[in-house]
A and B are shown apart, each in its own frame.
Chain A
Amino acid sequence: MAVKKFVVGLFDDEAVLFPAVKKVRTAGYKLHDVYTPFPVHGLDHAMGLRETSLHTAGFIYGITGTTTALSFMSWVFNVDWPLNIGGKPHFPLPAFIPITFELTVLFAAVGMVMTFCWLCQMMPGVKKHIFHPRQTDDKFVMVIELTEKTNAEEVKSFLTAAGAHDINEQKAEAGWWFGRFDKDDEPYLRKIQTANA
């Protein structure tokens, strides 16, 4: 949670954006984020993001679901309330498999969705600064964070050379906060005004 300075540049085309992202990394600027209207294949790799740990989490959730289902059902039918159902054994593994499978899927799916929201910092009420109103609409927006070592003018000319337009400097909250868009911020309308101004 800290207010930082950013330089924001707009791109019209992913073909221009892609080399620009690579250039930013070789130039050594600190890339805050890149916002795109659709998933651009290979962009995460070009940005130098580490591979997500979401699938490992998913595996662990799945294993948890399997164990929960199997142990619960065996406990119910063997220890807590043994019933004779159609003369089947008290530990009928084939009959347990569908439920085990369902619970594995359920745990993995719900757990992964929640982990995904956690990793992406998404939740009802969680707010983030919007750098440009059209950043996930039809424009590609690249945000470079300014540190003590970077010169804003230099970054701006760098972005112009890379093919960006509408380059501006913003001072904004870098993380997230709780809030309501209707009460303490009207990002869309406000940003439209700044864009027109």
Chain B
Amino acid sequence: MKDQFVVPARLKKTSFVLMGVGLLTLLIGLIAFKGETRFWAGLLQNSSFFLLITLASTFFIAATTLAQGGWQIAFRRVPEAISMAVPVLAVILFLVVMILIFGGREDIYHWINAEHVAHDPILSWKKAFLNKGFFTIATVITLALWIIFTIRIRKMSIQEDSWDMSRETGRKILWRNTVVCGGFMAIFVLSVGSTTPWIWLMSIDAHWFSTMYSWYTFASTWVSGVALIALFVVYLKRHGYLTFVTEEHLHDLGKFLFAFSIFWTYLWFSQYMLIWYANMPEETEYFQPRVWGEWRPIFFLNLLINFITPLLFLMKRDTKRNYTAIVFIAIVIIFGHWLDFWQMVYPGTVKHLSFPWYEFGLGLGFVGLIIFLVSNQLTKAPLVPKNHPYLKESIVHHT
């Protein structure tokens, strides 16, 4: 049984090439846009998207642990390794938003101009919440807590490998994992589930508000996060690792992709329909450029890629159990939700639609960074948590 991952030279090369593409695009973007709006909007879109989809792995571990799930133990080290990309991506996002806030980028967050806020009744109302101090403190606290919990969960898991296998240690493993994951879950709900998307992304359109927004963002990143886990699982399986992972586990990941694609659509539609029904100017301004303006094709392309495609493609049992099919749909889903973030950030900042070569190049850079970090992390521990009490349940798992 191959239990110790060794990074293949080809994967390493791919990750470096992708990171090189990302850096090159960043440089070209810096020259082409002269460090103007689009340069920063692209960075904000990509850094927040890729940070949140790696954080979805921590959420995956926390959710399955709290639900007393056993089926995922056979590949639990994969979401663990992905979640270890969170600290690095969090630092990148932190740098980006801090430059935006303190560099006075009013084209991204127009509420940072105090004089403008004083003459704007809507923004004056939100002053207690939308200000530099709150933004910075909230960002620092959430990022710090995410990093602390992610590292803690990973460390516990590796530490448990050196314990003995007995009833007592089994209970201890379950108990302390449940406690820590419960803590993380509370923080996750208060951050990704409510405030974080408001301050990072929704405040771009500071006049507008939607209580659905955070859940919408969460659904987007969660389904892409599961797709990311599925991609790494299939990659490892193809290279002869993860002996215990079978089509049954893949089937369950496929169910997640299917179900949460529908969940995303539910939120996508709920947010739109309520605003459409009430038809109030301060709410419809968000959808004006997206549904009736230049972004209309992207808005509906989004629905096609993120709802219709997974719905019809993953409906059959056979596709959920097919490695190639899952790889295909996982890439489609990640790309689709990346587009979703694009149309969340851009109409309020860059305003005009243009071919997203710069954003896509940056995205490739982030993908390369994630591949590099995750493959490095995978080598640091055996791929099977051998002392976890639910390991057997995972091995005999049958859907």
Contact = CB atoms under 8 A, between A and B. Distances in A.
Interface in B247-286: 269, 272-273, 276-277
Interface residues of A, number: 9
A59 B273 contact: no
Interface in A103-120: none
Contacts of B315: 59
A28 interface: no
A55 B318 CA distance: 13
B398 A95 contact: no
Interface in B210-253: none
Residue among A51, A55, A94, A98 with the highest chain B CB neighbour number at 10 A: A94
Contacts of B272: 94
A173 to B, nearest CB: 34
Contacts of A94: 269, 272-273, 276-277
B269 A95 contact: no
SS of B interface (majority):
helix
A183 B91 CA distance: 77
Contact of A97 (B269, B317, B399): B269
B246 to A, nearest CB: 12
A41 B398 contact: yes
Interface string A28-43: 0000000000000110
Contacts, number: 16
Contact of A42 (B269, B277, B398): B398
Nearest to B316: A55
Nearest to A97: B269
Interface SS of A by simple majority:
helix
Contacts of A51: 317
Contacts of A42: 398
B343 to A, nearest CB: 18
Nearest to A59: B315
A59 B399 CA distance: 21
Nearest to A98: B273
Nearest to B398: A41
Contacts of A97: 269, 273
Contacts of B269: 94, 97
Interface string A80-94: 000000000000001
Nearest to B318: A51
Contacts of B273: 94-95, 97-98
Nearest to B266: A101
Contacts of B399: 41
16 contacts: A41-B398, A41-B399, A42-B398, A51-B317, A55-B317, A59-B315, A94-B269, A94-B272, A94-B273, A94-B276, A94-B277, A95-B273, A95-B277, A97-B269, A97-B273, A98-B273
Interface of B: 269, 272-273, 276-277, 315, 317, 398-399
Interface of A: 41-42, 51, 55, 59, 94-95, 97-98
Given A94-B272, A95-B277, A97-B273, 13 more contacts: A41-B398, A41-B399, A42-B398, A51-B317, A55-B317, A59-B315, A94-B269, A94-B273, A94-B276, A94-B277, A95-B273, A97-B269, A98-B273
